Structure 1
């Protein structure tokens, strides 16, 4: 199987299956001397792991990450980093009854046609269990980017019919509810709606929005490796994502140029001295200010011509409903016979809540890779690295 590697400079290669002994990831190209601890990784693993039966599967996984290489005395060494996560609560026998059946909206059928066999235990490599390895790797990318002043904040923008408008959003509410939703009342409504779906043996999808702040100008390559194209590849590679947007996204198609275009303006900020006090524009006898470029709107979502423009990057991932539902569905088996199926076992009524940190992780991996790729775009940058 090819296609398990992402990135050109900051690369990851994930391995393992849902019901195998372990899953994991090898990270290559991570710069040395980044302060890193196991806790930096585990704080994000906790956000993704299953176990909250109210909104997710009841499968219990500690998702404890073992750091096998690439770390010494609390810092990255510049060598490949290997992370492993052991599977401890897989129940393969739950899948015996459906091993010869192609589940609706799963990868069973195309996997069988492509490889001639498939791991029917939880979907094998196609299982969302693989995203735990991505979160582990993405945590290191986020730690690297924190050193560069770049930060990520993702949240549930919509779940089923319940959505939070831009005017209603309160980002302080994200950490106060199980869904990472920026609205307390709507988060409770959405949790109740998930309960209704579980009662009806059904599932729902939703939308995750992510804001990336602190981006320098010019990250991305202007043709095939455009920042939005690489982010799109990263986000669309996540299980169950069926659509991707940047900025105003699909709404842009209904806008006029005069409505969509983001007007630039300059703002002159006062310089601050070493004591932290405002200089009021004067340093000695010379007037000194710091001009900066801003946009009055951000319909472009922080990306112009495939390059970051310095304003916040805003992206959205649209997730389909979880395909494993306990309602009776029509399908076929490996003998091409028409059969009915009702998928029992432990399954998420929605993947959205647990995918919030996955979106952050994949966005961080994309930006870390392009940040390193862009480090050689100017002679001055190369000289700064090598010439003294």
Structure 2
């Protein structure tokens, strides 16, 4: 099964399945000398883990990370970093029929066709959202590297759930978005979003939403034109997240309604630095960062696992039938996807920063450690 390796210079190898023994990652290309601990990774995994609130799945997983290699005396050595999370609350009894009766909206059927029926169908197997644990592992390292070397900050927050839209908020309010279960900076909209999720859950249904991600202090000049554009690589990274259905940058689809004079971002000098008065481009021009905040939005589809009766086909009898999905599932995956979006954006920006020789192979010297 190819397609489990991400990145060119900062490389993430993802492994594991939803109901297998573990989910994990091997990170290659991390510079030596980065102070790193399991607490750093755990903090981000806790933002993604199930059972956080009444609007998430009841699957009870602590998602406790173990770092197996690549660290010595609390610092990265430059060697591959291997991390694992052991699956502990696994109940595969609800998936006996899934192998031959694919769930609508899931990858059961496409995986069956692609791998000739040898795929692991339990909880979605390798194609489950649980595999994003490995994204968090790599992304946490990337975020810390970017923050400590380039002062890059990456923030994601919920802007819409189930048709409930949030008002635009300040950066400081966005930084506090984790204070509510839906991770929305607009606290009034957050209440309505929670109500909308609960309503869908009562109706045995689910809802989707939109996430905005902002990368601050990204230096100008990252990315390459044509086939290695920065937004192209970010888009590919974000589309690797299960449930993502669209990605847009800056003004996105609204650009079609604007004139050139409206959409163009005028350049000005402020304190000796070139900036733009607006940011409809989303911080990227010609596939290369321009020094303004990189802004993108990600659309997350409704969770496909719903308790309503749905139509499917039995792959053995080749007859139409119906299926009622059982198991433990999120009525809305948007809040738990927030740290995953941040992780993928971070890894792409870091990869390009390393390519631009902005990140050294060794951070400081051993005798200068704190």
TM-score in terms of structure 1 length: 0.89
- The superposition leaves residues 263-286 of structure 1 with CA deviations (integer Å, 9 ceiling, x where unpaired) of 011023xxxxxxxxxxxxxxxxxx
- Note the 1:30-179 alignment, pairs <5 A: 30-117=30-117, 118-147=119-148, 148-166=150-168, 170-171=173-174, 173-179=176-182
Tell me which residue corresponds to 1:272. none
- Provide the C-alpha distance between the structure 2 equivalents of 1:172 and 1:292, rounded to a whole number of angstroms: 25
- Note the 1:1-388 alignment, pairs <5 A: 1-117=1-117, 118-147=119-148, 148-166=150-168, 170-171=173-174, 173-268=176-271, 291-335=272-316, 336-375=318-357
Residue 245 of structure 1 aligns to a residue whose secondary structure is: strand
C-alpha displacement of 1:40: 1.1
C-alpha displacement of 1:167: 6.0
- Provide the C-alpha distance between the structure 2 equivalents of 1:167 and 1:25, rounded to a whole number of angstroms: 35
Residue 151 of structure 2 aligns to a residue whose secondary structure is: coil
Q: 8 Å contact 2:24–2:134 — kept in the other structure?
A: yes
- Provide the C-alpha distance between the structure 1 equivalents of 2:174 and 2:213, rounded to a whole number of angstroms: 11
Q: 8 Å contact 2:246–2:299 — kept in the other structure?
A: yes
C-alpha displacement of 1:165: 3.1
C-alpha displacement of 1:114: 1.0
Larger radius of gyration: 1
Residue 255 of structure 2 aligns to a residue whose secondary structure is: helix
C-alpha displacement of 1:163: 0.8
Gaps of at least 5 residues in structure 2 are 362-370
Residue 123 of structure 1 aligns to a residue whose secondary structure is: helix
Residue 156 of structure 2 aligns to a residue whose secondary structure is: strand
- Provide the C-alpha distance between the structure 1 equivalents of 2:134 and 2:63, rounded to a whole number of angstroms: 9
Gaps of at least 5 residues in structure 1 are 269-290, 383-388
- The superposition leaves residues 241-289 of structure 1 with CA deviations (integer Å, 9 ceiling, x where unpaired) of 0000110011111110000000011023xxxxxxxxxxxxxxxxxxxxx
TM-score in terms of structure 2 length: 0.94
Residue 62 of structure 2 aligns to a residue whose secondary structure is: coil
- Provide the C-alpha distance between the structure 2 equivalents of 1:36 and 1:123, rounded to a whole number of angstroms: 32
Aligned-residue Cα RMSD (Å) equals: 1.7
Q: 8 Å contact 1:173–1:184 — kept in the other structure?
A: no
Q: How many residues align?
A: 357
C-alpha displacement of 1:34: 1.0
C-alpha displacement of 1:172: 5.0
